[in-house]
Chains A and B, each alone.
Chain A
Amino acid sequence: MSDDFENRRDLAEIAATRYREGRLTRRGFLAAMTAMGILPAIGAGKANAAASELVIVNWGGKAAEVIKEVLADTYTAATGMKVFIDGSGPSAGRIRAMVESGAVVWDVCDSGAGSAIILGQGGYIQPIDYSVVDKTKVLEGTAYTHGVGNYVYSYVMASNPKLLGGNVPTSWQDVWNVKDFPGMRTFRKSVRGMLESATMAMGVPTQDVYAALDTEDGIDAAIAKFRALRENIIVWGSGSESQNLFLQEEVSIGNIWSTRAHLLKDQMDEGAFSVSFNGGVIAPGIWVVPNDNPAGTAEAMKFIAHGQDPALQVKWLELIGSGPINPAAAALVPEALKKWNPSSPENLVNQILYNDEWYAKNQISAEEKYIDALIN
């Protein structure tokens, strides 16, 4: 639950929109529909992985299509091993159920750090073989014992300069300054990715944010910040809501996902949309390998290592906005996309890593206070 899986599910929504716009093929859309989770992975014919096939699991939709193009097809071309993408959403609960039942059909799953920690402690997933997977090819802090990072996304500060009269906020303190930067703001319905910005708005330097939030007082102070701003807040519950609020010019500033900002940059008018990674929170997707996976540990690790190729990750960024997690990929990103890349050196230096351990400990109590601050 401390795993921010909504972002991956959000990618599935982006897919549905793209299909309607004609940018997704019917076959891709059908794959997405199967992936949307009606058919359980166990028992769905295609998911019966023989040892001659690798099953990669993610959250479906366009993301599944993109992974197929970027990672699966290239892997098959390189090694001859067939790869099947299953988009049914590898939640921690599902992985656990599968391992416990003994009928494991998944090889590599796109999960999150929180789930990786919980599943690792429970003994449901395998430790990553770092002699095959290169620890140096992922951002610092995203190589766990039982999981390793695959791509990144961020919570960013997006704004509409047109509505602000040309005045663009450069820090979260600016966002809380309603006088100089008038208009409505949008924040997430949940505390995930939000409390950090409130803490930074109080002047706490980025590297000390989670330390400050580790105390009851720290959390209360951040919540109080939201209470002070709440007359100007509209919340977003889903990625598309956050996107719509900007498209309809309902908000002038927002704390939204970088993947949605990636879409908005093309959809908004010239000069009506700008994004700052300053004070952003960057979060990784994490590959995990369930115990007794059908294709074997070695093959799974080979696939993960294959995905670490910086060129492939840049392609991933271009197609769907998922940031590359290989530090070497930033240099390969085309000039136009550089400032939209969550993991470019310029952007990385201003961000902090989403701290799953903090969320595992504090999310539930913080959520309660957060809702209270917004509505009371």
Chain B
Amino acid sequence: MSLDKARYWLLALPALTIMIVFYIWPLVGILAISVTEPAVGFGNYAKLADSSAVQTSFIITFRVAAITTALCVLLGYIVAWSITNVTGRMTPLMIALLLLPFWVSVLIRSFSWIVLLGRSGVVNDALLGAGVIDAPLRLMHNEFGVIIAMVHVMLPFAVLPIMANMRGIDRAFTEAARGLGAGEWTAFRLVYLPQTMPGIISGALLVFVLSLGFYITPALLGGGRVLMVSEYITYQIQEFLNWGLGSALSVGLLIATAAVLAVAARFVNLRTALLERS
């Protein structure tokens, strides 16, 4: 190998080593555990395929992640559009408000949803006080509560890629379309929206993949009925000390996530969507 190439590899080596030691190696370890405990072989994976509880858990996980993604992209698009296109001086403030939740731990945010959505929580008390309802609504410990809290947590992750994309879009195109006689909605649909697709896709993928593996929020707000795979894995490893099955579930989740990316890649050129900015 030429001296130049060797030098480049040397530069990349520290980062690569850290990556391998702290990321790849533990992953390989998990894979190893999944095929060696309690007995060598693919018994854990067979159990996974049979178990109806596991299948339901995966279905719940994908469903919650999909709904969260859809809502986040929708709301995130609106927020990103507002920040990009509305006012000049308010922009820094709006971005600061958007990023503020990151300063607060996810755990605290999830707990605050418990305070808001609980049976004797703020929302129910307000509705009862206003006379809108007679008995407290069941807003929590079900999928409804989980999705609300997940959208709240994931929203910034949807807004940021879309916003980054929108900032790079030249207004001239939309104005040209208007100038050529297109109505506002048509100009938006045919000229602006397609240009924001890369941002939407990055945002959607980010939110979806994060939601698949998310643990805290569904665990706190699900009431044990909305059992996502992450919680199921914790169950197996902590409560039942069944490390083999827990690891197999982790590998299963990893494969499912990779499958999602593969499917996305069929429809969208991921390389251009994620790596190119204009």
Indicate if the CB atoms of B224 and A235 lie closer than 8 Å: yes
Interface residues on chain A, size class: 20 to 34
The listed residue (B119, B232, B241) touching A250 by CB distance below 8 A is B119
Per the 8 Å Cβ criterion, residues 336-376 of A in contact with B are 364, 367-369, 371-372, 374-376
The listed residue (A234, A364, A372, A375) touching B240 by CB distance below 8 A is A364
Indicate if the CB atoms of B52 and A376 lie closer than 8 Å: yes
With contacts A1-B240, A249-B119, A249-B120 taken as known, whether A233 is within 8 angstroms of B51 at the C-beta atoms is no
Indicate if the CB atoms of A248 and B224 lie closer than 8 Å: no
Among A230, A248, A250, A375, chain B packs the most CB atoms within 10 A around the CB of: A375
Indicate if the CB atoms of B53 and A250 lie closer than 8 Å: no
Q: How far is the CB of A37 from chain B (nearest CB, A)?
A: 14
- Is B56 part of the contact surface with A, judged by Cβ < 8 Å? yes
A183, closest chain B residue (CB): B119
Give the chain B neighbours of A230 by CB distance below 8 A.
225
CA A190 – CA B235 in complex, angstroms? 9
CA A191 – CA B175 in complex, angstroms? 65
- Is B239 part of the contact surface with A, judged by Cβ < 8 Å? yes
- Is A237 part of the contact surface with B, judged by Cβ < 8 Å? yes
- Is A262 part of the contact surface with B, judged by Cβ < 8 Å? no
CA A368 – CA B225 in complex, angstroms? 14
CA A233 – CA B120 in complex, angstroms? 17
A189, closest chain B residue (CB): B224
User: What mask results when residues 211 to 255 of chain A are scored 1 for a CB within 8 Å of chain B, else 0?
Assistant: 000000000000000000010011111000000000011100000
Please classify the interface of chain B as helix (H, G, I), strand (E, B), loop, or mixed, using the class held by over half of its residues.
loop
Per the 8 Å Cβ criterion, residues 62-120 of B in contact with A are 114, 118-120
The listed residue (A237, A367, A369, A372) touching B224 by CB distance below 8 A is A237
A182, closest chain B residue (CB): B135
Give the chain B neighbours of A190 by CB distance below 8 A.
239
User: What mask results when residues 34 to 74 of chain B are scored 1 for a CB within 8 Å of chain A, else 0?
Assistant: 00000000000000000111001100100000000000000
B53, closest chain A residue (CB): A372
The listed residue (A1, A189, A234, A369) touching B141 by CB distance below 8 A is A234
- Is B194 part of the contact surface with A, judged by Cβ < 8 Å? no
With contacts A1-B241, A189-B239 taken as known, whether A375 is within 8 angstroms of B57 at the C-beta atoms is yes
CA A125 – CA B12 in complex, angstroms? 55
CA A236 – CA B239 in complex, angstroms? 13
The listed residue (B60, B120, B239) touching A375 by CB distance below 8 A is B60
- Is B183 part of the contact surface with A, judged by Cβ < 8 Å? no
- Is B166 part of the contact surface with A, judged by Cβ < 8 Å? no
Indicate if the CB atoms of A248 and B118 lie closer than 8 Å: yes
- Is B26 part of the contact surface with A, judged by Cβ < 8 Å? no
Indicate if the CB atoms of B239 and A371 lie closer than 8 Å: no
A sample of 24 cross-chain residue pairs with beta-carbon separation below 8 angstroms, ordered by A number, consists of A1-B241, A189-B224, A190-B239, A230-B225, A234-B225, A235-B223, A235-B224, A237-B224, A248-B114, A248-B120, A364-B242, A367-B240, A369-B53, A371-B227, A372-B51, A372-B56, A374-B224, A374-B227, A375-B56, A375-B57, A375-B225, A375-B226, A375-B227, A376-B53
Residues of A within 8 A of B (CB): 1, 184, 189-190, 230, 233-237, 248-250, 364, 367-369, 371-372, 374-376
The 4 closest A-B pairs by CB, nearest first: A235-B224, A372-B53, A234-B223, A371-B53
Can you add 12 more A-B contacts, CB < 8 Å, to A236-B224, A248-B118, A364-B240? Answer: A184-B141, A190-B239, A234-B223, A235-B223, A235-B225, A248-B119, A248-B120, A249-B119, A249-B120, A250-B140, A372-B53, A375-B53
